[in-house]
Structure 1
Amino acid sequence: MPTDRRTVLADAAIDVLAGAGMRGLTHRAVDRAAHMPAGTTSAYYRTRHALLTALVSRLVALDQEELQAIGERTPVPRDAEELVAQIAAFAEQRLTGDARRRSLARYACVIESVHQSELREILTPRQNAGRQVVHDFLAAQGVADAEERTVTLLTCVDGLIFDRLVGGGVVSEQEIRGLVLAALR
């Protein structure tokens, strides 16, 4: 549990955004969620833009930590079925618990970044160990344009996660298998 007030407030802002949406993200709501006195969030993040920037920066940091951990504990798959299982586990994780909350907040921020390019710069996909696992697998299978196919595959998985967050349900291994096989063709 972070003790730095800026981090506590950014984490609370993620919770508020995930639970109440962009309209519900206010300095007062973050104060309440962080169990801080009224005015604390405003003292640290004077404007809504400053609060959103802190929220997005924290969101990206948490996601990068998670993806790094996944990449470190996940070997390059030996075959397509191992890759399908790994991606399916990742998708399931994004739809449950703490990662679900971050997924909801992330998608709200992505939409907001259409109007605030500074947020888009922070949210821009970065190289990470999880993505590297997919790339290395495709390259090892002889896929000539492994980088492009990695981006396409992971974008499709992201779209499935978004669809299930909005509409409910899970991302099936059959859906992932179809995407992986398409990437290998």
Structure 2
Amino acid sequence: MPTDRRTLLADAAVDVLAQSGFRGLTHRAVDRAANLPPGTTSAYYRTRQALLTALVRRLVALDQAELQDIGERTPAPRNAEELTAGIAAFAGQRLTGEGRRRSLARYACAIESVHHPELREILVPRENAAHRAVRDFLAAQGVADAEARTVTLLTCVDGLVFDRLVGGGTVSDHEIRGLVTAALR
């Protein structure tokens, strides 16, 4: 549990958004979720926009830390099967537990960023060890423009995760294998 009050409130805001959507994201709801006295959230994040910006920054920080960790602790894939397994495991994490909560909040923020471009700037994908591992694997396989293919592959995986969050179900290894095969062509 975070000891910094701002981080605690941002984490609580992620929970509220994932559970209740944007209509439920209020300063009072965040106070309750953080188990803090009424008015605490508004003391730290005076406006809804300030709260939303803090929430998005926290989501990005958590995602980047997770992706960096995955990239650093997972050996580089040696073949398409290992890449498929790694991506499938990651997609599965995005659909359950902590990953599901953050995914729901992230997608809600992505939609909201259409109306708030300053949020889009925060949400822009960043370089991390996991992204590099996929790009390096594709480059080692002789794929032309490995960076563009990496972005396309990971965007397709993200779309599958979104579809399964909304419609239910899981992302299958078969689907990921198809995407990896397409990226290698």
TM-score relative to the length of structure 2: 0.99
The residue that corresponds to 2:33 in the other structure is 33
The residue that corresponds to 1:113 in the other structure is 113
Q: Which runs of 4+ in 1 moved over 4 A?
A: none
Q: After TM superposition, give the deviation of residue 99 of structure 1 in Å.
A: 1.1
CA–CA separation in structure 2 for the residues paired with 1:123 and 1:148: 19
The residue that corresponds to 1:182 in the other structure is 182
The residue that corresponds to 1:76 in the other structure is 76
Aligned-pair identity in percent equals: 81
The residue that corresponds to 1:9 in the other structure is 9
TM-score relative to the length of structure 1: 0.99
Give the aligned length: 185
Deviations along 1:153-180, whole A, 9 cap, x unmatched? 0000000000000000000000000000
Q: After TM superposition, give the deviation of residue 33 of structure 1 in Å.
A: 0.2
The residue that corresponds to 2:92 in the other structure is 92
CA–CA separation in structure 2 for the residues paired with 1:130 and 1:78: 14
- Aligned-partner SS, 2:19: helix
Q: After TM superposition, give the deviation of residue 144 of structure 1 in Å.
A: 1.3
The residue that corresponds to 1:126 in the other structure is 126
The residue that corresponds to 2:53 in the other structure is 53
Supply the AA of the counterpart residue of 2:47. T
The residue that corresponds to 2:159 in the other structure is 159
Unpaired runs of 5+ residues, structure 2, are: none
Q: After TM superposition, give the deviation of residue 74 of structure 1 in Å.
A: 1.3
- Aligned-partner SS, 1:180: helix
RMSD of equivalent CA atoms: 0.5
The residue that corresponds to 1:142 in the other structure is 142
CA–CA separation in structure 1 for the residues paired with 2:75 and 2:139: 14
Supply the AA of the counterpart residue of 2:45. Y
Deviations along 1:69-105, whole A, 9 cap, x unmatched? 0000112211100000000000000111111100000
Supply the AA of the counterpart residue of 2:68. Q
CA–CA separation in structure 1 for the residues paired with 2:127 and 2:43: 34
Deviations along 1:18-44, whole A, 9 cap, x unmatched? 000011100000000000000000000
Q: After TM superposition, give the deviation of residue 138 of structure 1 in Å.
A: 0.1
